[in-house]
Amino acid sequence: MNLKSRSIWTILALVLITGTTGAFAQLLDPSTLTKYIDPLPQPPIRTPSGREGGFPAYDVHVKAAKAKMHSELDSTPIFSFDGITPGPTFLVEMGQPVAVRYYNDLPQDHMFYVDQDIEMFKGQDWGQKSRFVSHLHGADVEAAYDGFPMATIDPGEQTTYFYPNSQPGATLWYHDHSAGITRLNAYAGIAGFYLIDDPREKRLNLPSGPYMLGIAVQDRMFNEDGSLFYPEEWEPEFFGDVALVNGVVWPKLEVEPRKYRIRFLNGCNDRFLNMKLIESNDQGIVSSDSVPGPAFWLVGSEQGLLSNTVVLNDPANINSPRMLVDPGDRRDFIIDFADQQGKYFLMHNDARAPFKGVGHPAPDDLPLPELFLVHVKDTTVTDLAQIPMQPGFVETPKPAQARETRNIKLSEVMGDDGPIMVLLNDKNFMDPISEFPRYNTTEIWNFVNTTEDVHPMHIHLVNWQVLERRPCDIDRYLAEDTIVYTGPAVAPEAQELGRRDMVNTWPGYVTTVLTSKFNRLGKYVYHCHILAHEENDMMRPYEVVLPNQGDGGMIAGVEPIEPLLGISGPEPFRNRASISYSAGLEQHVKLSVYNSLGQEVKTLVNGAVNRGMHSAVWDGTNTAGAQVASGTYFYKLETSKSSQTVRATLVR
Ligand SMILES: [Cu+2]
């Protein structure tokens, strides 16, 4: 996947070496920037700006701004959530639905040149327009709120999404997903953390508060005037020569000699990261004997806590693997800096670009070994946080229960000068839907990677567990569409276990995953998370349909929306409780109040409701009209497909 991109690197190298003026002459030489002089900041936590339909509501303005990314660099024009990149972090409670009002306040024309020659633009008149649609990566949300790539809003438009946050605690991120310009919008800065706080984590005594850090690494290339460089013509991959960490170039992280929990995001468009801490001097220079830094205790995947903590970069074990994070992926891990007072550690990356696998000897087009520097303060602290060895619970996969097995072919369409397109099942994004998972069933997906690169596949709505990888005869598969294995299956690595929404598909292998239940109806997408691939044209829609439907789509007029339930009045309440719920289509709902013994106290709604927001009132009485006692009660919203419960407290 590097033939075409290498041609541009040759040009860039020549320009840098000869100093020739021309189209690329204004590129910044990254070695002119002093590393590790700016602190590594934390994005601020978002606060709700009000309520909508009974839920906390957040206003998110997508807009152009300027960011100071390095003290020796002029300010950088960005596209952003609320004027900063990464955008403010959502920190929401599991089980508490929220409304997010997205405003596209971007200028009409994009800050980057939009290449309209790619497949995604065929038949469209989008031009250079700064379209936007938000996707909450890894979230279990209704299709209408998932950010389908064609559901973009233009500058000046606004849209409201509801996120139920009904899944276990997780490290998610929100970013743009616009058809044809996702890579440009993400690169321009439209990305941020979205953390779901799981109350069950409290018992684990994980590092928290100032000792829980969000860290997003993104590679970038700059022009000398401080602006970001991105190629005008679509490239199969584009790698930056500068590490941007939480929006700052090669920053320094000051820590105390104690444990930290890190919610990590590889926010690079196309670059893999394979990371380790190595002891260094205060300039980040590593001595020849390369002393390893403290271990990474991996406690969670992108979809929540693991059954067993995985030790990576164990300094006592030379064979201990590094932490591999594919583009778009997240990790939840703990580093203990105890007894490291005064030391410096370099966060080092050795993943080659393009990435063909750990240890693969392919050439590295543009290495980015240095990410950021850590300095451990020379202080003494009391640290009561713990590293749990069994932090969570992940169900054992049950592949026998899968309703369907699908083979997904990953292939390149070659041009004269390298790949001109990467496809899934030889189809373009706009081709008719071919995958119709049935509602409430699980499936096995076999990704057959016929290319020479690792592709990080991502699916919306559901998560999956990696079952195995197995080498197969690619030539035969391409010729006959038959999988013939050429070796034994390889079990997933320890750091790949758990609930995932990403998987690295190895070249020449069939990578097999088992999905969770497709728990909502409607159209979603799956795609490679190398954003350049996703855009041309390594993304496909799929549609979850009712079990009795054939392949061919939804019954006309049926829109897939599950109601959302929330409390809109005071909580706890004295006399009168206000309850809100939304319905996405006309459907029958039942809203009842239950006591803590599970007995139904009163039915508030039982009938057909229209699409939209609704409210109900409970006056604290039972069916007989008598006042009930103080205590805990539950509102339960049921449809034919789902039920949702919210807890409330009555105080007399
Ligand atoms: Cu790819």
Distance 248 CA to ligand 1 centre (A): 27
User: Residues 484-511, buried b or exposed e (16+ Cβ, 10 A)?
Assistant: eeeeeeeebeebbbbbbbbbbbbbbbbb
Please tell me the predicted confidence (pLDDT) of residue 154: 98
- From residue 552, give the alpha-carbon distance in Å to each of 385, 435, 496, 543, 545: 53, 9, 34, 9, 9
pLDDT in tens, 35-93: 999 999 999 999 999 988 778 999 999 999 999 999 999 999 999 999 999 999 999 99
Where in the chain do CATH 2.60.40.420 domains reside? Answer: 3-376, 399-544
DSSP 520: S
Distance from Cα 524 to the centre of ligand 1, integer Å: 18
Distance 422 CA to ligand 1 centre (A): 7
Least confident of 225-239, 473-487, 516-530, 587-601: 587-601
Counting Cβ atoms within 10 Å, is residue 277 exposed (0-12), middle (13-18) or buried (19+)?
buried
Return the structure tokens found at 219: 């590679």
More confident residue, 633 or 448: 448
Question: Residue 526 Cα, ligand 1 centroid: separation in angstroms?
Answer: 12
- Contact present, 126 and 503 (Cβ < 8 Å): no
Q: What is the pLDDT of residues 267-287, one digit of tens each?
A: 999 999 999 999 999 999 998
**CATH of region 564-650:** 2.60.40.4070
Plot region of 8 (φ>0 → left; ψ -120 to 50 → alpha; else → beta): alpha
Q: Is 364 exposed, middle or buried (CB count within 10 Å of its CB: 0-12, 13-18, 19+)?
A: middle
Q: 643, 632 in Cβ contact below 8 A?
A: no
Judged on CB neighbours under 10 Å (0-12, 13-18, 19+), 468 is: middle
Q: Which two tokens stand for residue 370?
A: 């240095």
Instruction: Determine the distance separating the centroid of ligand 1 and the alpha carbon of 624, expressed in angstroms.
Output: 62
Tokens of 252: 């320094």
Strand, helix or coil for residue 301: strand
pLDDT at 3 over 90: no
Torsion-angle region of 551 (φ positive above 0: left; ψ -120 to 50: alpha; else: beta) = beta
Query: Residue 554: what pLDDT?
Result: 44
Residue 612's pLDDT is: 66
- What top-level class would CATH report for the domain 399-544? mainly beta
**What digits encode the pLDDT tens for the residues 282-336?**
999 998 888 999 999 999 999 999 999 999 999 999 999 999 999 999 999 999 9
Q: What is the pLDDT of residue 123?
A: 94
pLDDT at 239: 98
How confident is the prediction for the chain on average, in pLDDT?
91
Residues of the chain with CATH 2.60.40.4070: 564-650
Q: Give pLDDT tens digits for 560-570.
A: 445 667 776 66
Task: Name residues whose C-beta falls within 8 Å of residue 618's C-beta, 6 or more positions apart in sequence.
Answer: 576, 577, 579, 593, 602, 604, 635
Residues in the chain: 652
| pLDDT for 11 beyond 80 | no
Residues 417 and 4 sit within 8 Å (Cβ to Cβ): yes
- DSSP class of residue 627 equals B
Q: For residue 539, report the distance from its CA to the centre of ligand 1, in Å.
A: 9
Measured in Å, residue 535 CA sits from the centre of ligand 1 at 10
Fold classification of 3-376 is: Immunoglobulin-like (2.60.40)
In the reported structure, the alpha carbon of residue 240 is separated from the centroid of ligand 1 by a whole-number distance in angstroms of 17
Nearest to 376 by CA among 512, 496, 258: 258
Q: How confident is the model at residue 416 (pLDDT cuts 50, 70, 90)?
A: confident
Residue 550 — very low, low, confident or very high, per pLDDT cuts 50/70/90?
low
Structure pTM? 0.86
What are the residues whose beta carbons fall under 8 Å from the beta carbon of 176, sequence distance 6 or more? 62, 132, 133, 134, 135, 182, 185, 186, 190, 191
Rounded distance between C-alpha atoms, residue 556 and residue 544, angstroms:
14
Q: What is the mean pLDDT of residues 115-132?
A: 96
Residues 302 and 463: their CA atoms lie apart, in Å, by 10
Q: How far is the CA of 537 from the centre of ligand 1 (A)?
A: 9
Query: Coil, helix or strand for 284?
Result: coil
Q: How far apart are CA 588 and CA 140, in angstroms?
A: 22
pLDDT more than 90, % of the chain: 77
Pairing relation of β-strands 134-137 and 170-176? antiparallel
Read off the pLDDT band of 575 (50, 70, 90): confident
- Determine the pLDDT at residue 58: 97
Which residues, including other chains, have CB under 8 Å from residue 142's CB and lie 6 or more apart?
A: 162, 520, 522, 560, 561, 562, 584
Beta bridge partners of 292: 278
